[in-house]
Amino acid sequence: MNPLLAIARGIRAASSSGSLVALGWIYGVLAALAAILTIVVYTVVSLGVARSGVAGQLRSGLPTDWLIDTFTQPGAGSKFIAILMLAVALAVVYAAASVALSGGVVARLLGSLEAGSGEREPFLAACGRFAGPMLRVALIEVVFLVVVGGVLAIVWVAGLAGDAGNAFAWISLGVLVIAIAVITGVSDVARVHVVATGDRSAVAAWRDALAHAARRAPVFIVVVVFNLVVAAAVAWIAVTLHGTIQRETGTGVLIGLAVGQVGVLGRIWVRIVALSTQASLRRLAA
């Protein structure tokens, strides 16, 4: 079986208009949450530097004076923790929303892969229909991640205690990243299984996905690594590109915001591509 074919079809499916609707939904949720955080931070910071020249100094980054004044003020600690807690809460909301939306995303991808397969179900309706099984699939994924992460943490600590050196540190980091990517890949196949078969059992979906990954191990790994490399590259490009934007003026800040959001959109699309390539591979393997 040709992994390139699976990848090519996956990318095509992820680019279809139906899938872009899914992309729009996920990005919309993340951007809305980020906007809440942005507005809160803007308000707090603006109040702190109201009518002070320090506000203008913030144009060039984080001025020392601002850092010292801000973090040595009474109540600074609790303000900072409150903002951090808000960010954590928003991230939890995103996690819940992305699980809830994943059924719709897979349905759209499968619809594109099986072009012309009848009438398209509304996006949110599909999301709702699969929300329960998708949550259970995600929980099993979390269990796997915790177990693998725990084992690697033990190996790591043991290695460090045994003075295993730099090579060990790098190799264990590599193993950890690949392990996470593989678990996510299997989990994606399980999601596809749920939508493709209508079987609402998450355990059955994971069993099927593991069997699929084992049977097609070489191709599966190629696709996983491809997705990993692309995701890392896009993330790096997004961050680097944003870093090159001069944000010393209002216009610069707006351009920075736009470029930053394009990068975020790109990262989410690459994530959908990863899901799509696994769906395509599963279909080819069937």
Partner 1 sequence: MNTRTILIAMLVAACCAPILTRGAQPPGTTATVVRLPAPVEALDPRPLAPIAASSDPAFRPKRTPGELSDRVVSYTMQATLDPSPGVKSVTGKQRLTWRNPSDAPVGELQFHLYLNAFRDRESTFMRESGGKLRGDIMPEDGWGNIEVTSMATAAGEDLLPRLEFIQPDDGNVEDRTVARVPLTTPVAPGQTIELDMSFVSKLPKIFARTGHAGNFFFVGQWYPKLGVYEPKGMRGRTDSGWNCHQFHANSEFYADFGVYDVELTVPENFTVGATGALLGGRPSPDGGVTYHYRQADVHDFAWTADDNFVTGERTVSIEGASDVKVTALVQAEHAATLERHLDASEKSLRWFHANIGPYPYETLTCVDPQEDGDGAGGMEYPTLITAGIATTSEGTLPEVDDPLLEIVIFHEFAHQYWYGMVASNEFEEPWMDEGITSYSEDLGLPDLWPAKRSAYVAYGGVNVLCLPFENPALAEFSRFAAQRSVVRRGPLINQSWGYKGAYGYGVNAYPRPAIALQSLRILVGDETMRRILRTYFDRWKFGHPTSQDFFDVASEVSGRDLQWYFDQAFRSDRLLDYGVQSVETREQQDTVDVILERVGDAVFPIDARVTRADGSMETLSWDGRSAQRVFTIARLPAVQRVDVYPNGSPRLDAFATNDTWTERTDRAGPARLATDCGLLFEHLTLLLLGAF
Question: According to CB under 8 A, which one of 15, 20, 69, 120 is a site residue for partner 1?
Answer: 69
Name which of 27 and 201 has its Cβ closer to partner 1: 27
The span from the first CA to the last CA of the chain, in angstroms, equals 11
Length of the chain: 286
Q: Among 8, 68, 154, 229, which residue interacts with partner 1 (rule: CB under 8 A)? A: 68
Applying CB under 8 A, among 2, 24, 28, 56 the residue interacting with partner 1 is: 56
Rounded Cα distance between 125 and 129, Å, is: 6
Output the smallest distance, CB 61 to partner 1, in A: 7
**Residue 155 near partner 1 by CB under 8 A:** no
Cβ proximity to partner 1: between 22 and 219 the closer is: 22
Report how far apart, in Å, the C-alpha atoms of 160 and of each of 155, 163, 165, 252, 275 are: 9, 5, 7, 45, 36
Site for partner 1 contains 59 (CB under 8 A): yes
Q: Does 33 bind partner 1 (CB under 8 A)?
A: yes
# binding residues, partner 1 (CB under 8 A): 83
Residue 103, both tokens: 């059924």
Report d(CA 144, CA 87) in Å as an integer.
Answer: 25
Q: How far apart are CA 125 and CA 121, in angstroms?
A: 7
User: For residues 126 and 238, which CB has a smaller minimum distance to partner 1 in the complex?
Assistant: 238
Q: What element of type H or E holds 195?
A: helix 165-197
Stretch that binds partner 1, among 12-20, 38-46, 108-116, 124-132 (CB under 8 A): 38-46
Q: Is 275 in the site for partner 1 (CB under 8 A)?
A: yes
Interaction residues for partner 1, span 243-262 (CB under 8 A): 243, 247-250, 252-253, 256-257, 260-261
The answer to whether 118 contacts partner 1 (rule: CB under 8 A) is: no
Q: Which of 55, 204, 225, 285 binds partner 1 (CB under 8 A)?
A: 55
Among 81, 89, 91, 262, binds partner 1 (CB under 8 A): 91
Residues 23, 17: contact at Cβ < 8 Å?
Answer: no
Integer CA distances (angstroms), 32 to 28, 37, 90, 177, in order: 6, 9, 10, 29
By beta-carbon proximity to partner 1, the closer residue of 199 and 248 is 248
> For residue 98, what are its two tokens?
């992305």
Stretch that binds partner 1, among 8-16, 66-74, 118-126, 197-205 (CB under 8 A): 66-74
Selected from 170, 197, 198, 229, the binder of partner 1 by CB under 8 A is: 170
Report the interhelical angle of 123-161 vs 17-48 (nearest 10°).
Answer: 60
CA 87/CA 46 separation, integer angstroms: 19
